Amino acid sequence: MTKVRSTTVLAVIHNGEVAIGADGQATMGNYVAKSNVKKIRKLQDGKIVTGFAGSTADAFTLLERFDEKLNSFGGNMKRAAVELAKDWRTDRYLRKLEAMLITADKTEVLIVSGTGDVLEPDHDIAAVGSGAMYAQSAAYALKKHAAGLTAEDIVRESLNIAADICIYTNHNLVVEKVS
């Protein structure tokens, strides 16, 4: 799977709710270029929410292609993700894009990469980016031991923990729930 630095994106399914969030930091080399980038996008009238890590221009290209695939396949997220991954891996132009996507609907979360991966993560927790392992670990612990939390609470707290540890992740969070 492609190693993407410079952000953290996390999605969690918990107690019938789905939330996805990301920090807002954009880096260029070893400095912070912008601290409030919105890396979460709603598609299909909010029925599908995506987040991206990696090059912003590349991610926007992929989000546009993913939206086209969703429209082509009647909003079927898994089918659109598989078709995007196929194109991403085989198309000469797309193959050079450096980003990763997390996409979620009301029942599932997928990680989509440029190596052709479409993964359904374990424990209904998906994370990509430089702070992914910190956020994923925190989400797993919170989900397992904090019964009163919502999916949105788990995403926020986990991303804040990642931001405390990862230098490529900040505390300017955007979190969206899937409708």
Phi, psi at residue 2, to the nearest 5°? Answer: -65, 135
Distances 100 to 56, 129, 157 between C-alpha atoms, Å: 10, 8, 22
Active site residue 7: yes
The encoded tokens of residue 113 equal 């990469």
Quote the DSSP letter at residue 126.
Answer: E
Instruction: Compute and round to an integer the Cα radius of gyration of the chain.
Output: 15
Name the catalytic one among 7, 50, 103, 169: 7
Place of tokens 């949105």: 152
Task: Provide the 10 A C-beta neighbour count for residue 41.
Answer: 20
CA dihedral 143, 158, 97, 45 (to 10 degrees): 70
Catalytic residues: 7
